[in-house]
Structures are given as C-alpha cells and as structure tokens.
Amino acid sequence: MAFILSIETSTPICSIALHQNGELIDSDVNDGKGAHSELLVRMISDLLDRNEIKPSSLSAIAVSEGPGSYTGLRIGVSTSKGLAFAWDLPLIGISTLKILAKAAIHINGNSGFIIPLLDARRMEVYREVFDSELKSLAELDSEVVDEFSFQEWLKLNKVCFVGDGANKVKEVITHSNAIFSSLEISAKDMGSLAYLKFSNKDFEDLAYFVPNYLKEFKALQSKKNPLMS
C-alpha cells in the first residue's frame, strides 16, 4: 500500500493531492496570489491532517518538475525536497507536460495525439507530443507558434491541444483535426504516473535534482546606472 503526496506548482495554480496506489484520495487547490510561497506548506499539513495520514505513513513525494513558471517550480521543488529529506522519503519527479497529457487522454477518444502546451510568453510555448499511450513522439522543447505549427500531426489524426498555451495555437491554427481543451493542470492527475515510477523505484537524487526550466532563467537587469543612484 503506497500513499504518495503530489505537488504541482508549475503555473499560477497551486495544487496538491494524496493518492493511494495511484487512486485519488483527496486534493486541494488554490489559485490566489502568493499561494505557492505562502500557503503550500499549510495546504499540505491540512490535507494530511483531515485524512489522518502522518508523514511516516507516506511512501513518497511526487513533484511536477517543469517546464513552467520559474518561481512556481522553484518553490514546489524546494518544498518537496525539504519534506522528502525531513521525512526520509523518496522523491519522484514528473514532467509537467506529461501530467497535462495524462489528464487529456480521454478527450479525443483514446486515439490521435495529445500536445500539451505551456505559455512561454509572446507567441512561444513549451510543448511535447504524445500518443494516446503517453509515449513521447516529439521531445520536450520550446516553439514559436504560427499557422504552420503542428501541421505534420494534424494531417495524420485528431490532435488535442491542452494547457494554458493552447489559446495561442487556437488564434493561428484552424484545422478540422484540432481539438482545444480548457483543462488546467492539477496534482490530481499525477497519481498513476507517480505510482508507476514508485513501483519501478525511479527516484530522484535529492542532492542534485533541480526543476527543468527548459530555458535558462535570466533576471531582468535594471537599466538605471548604479553610479547615478
């Protein structure tokens, strides 16, 4: 019997879930400003308390590893690593885009392709292409979306675009095989993915595990001359 706590913070939505052998027991979500930094630990505590689960009863912690929001991923991964270390639990990292793909499998009738998309500013998205069995067909990357994007997949079968970057595709692509979903990413959809990794003992190294930002984070530099301040 495996109880796994899942944490998802790759977007402005902060969500957590508790699964037993991959089946959802309970979850919580908060999309308020500052939820990741101010409420995540309290949400976890409340979730465990109301289900009468002690940290010693957990089997692992799973966390969305990215890509996504730099700040959200940093908070989610650092919190997960801290709890895993404190509670002596293995850590499981799961691709943010695979979580979205898992949630969207049923939309196009368990056939065709699933392309989860995360907003990467302007007309750029983070994307990966999956088949209906969650096999990756085009590796995770960033892409500037235009009217020619994803045509090779749309010509072959139905394509479900899901995630907060799907609206960008909807603005420029019109095709009879295109399906657009408003599904939002949630820790609720991490259960079976986390349990599979747990069963295979596919764990992260706490000392070296970092979020997959995909693109190097660059802090904005002030244009003000420091000598003039």
Q: What pLDDT tens digit does each residue of the chain (229 aa) get?
A: 899 999 999 999 999 999 999 999 999 999 887 788 889 999 999 999 999 999 999 999 999 999 999 999 999 999 999 999 999 999 999 999 999 999 999 887 778 999 999 998 888 999 999 999 999 999 999 999 999 999 999 999 999 999 999 999 999 999 999 999 989 999 999 999 999 999 999 999 999 999 998 865 443 333 333 333 3
CA distance 223 to 154: 44
Same domain (yes/no): 90, 190: yes
Determine what percent of the chain falls in helix, strand and coil, rounding each to the nearest 5: 30, 25, 40
Closest CA to 89 of 181, 7, 153, 23: 7
Looking at the fold, whether 92 and 190 belong to one and the same domain comes out as: yes
The CA distance from 120 to 169, in Å, is 13
Q: What does the pLDDT read at residue 216?
A: 53
Same structural domain, 68 and 8: yes
Tokens 């069963």 belong to residue: 199
Q: Are residues 121 and 172 in the same domain?
A: yes
Range of 140's domain?
Answer: 108-181
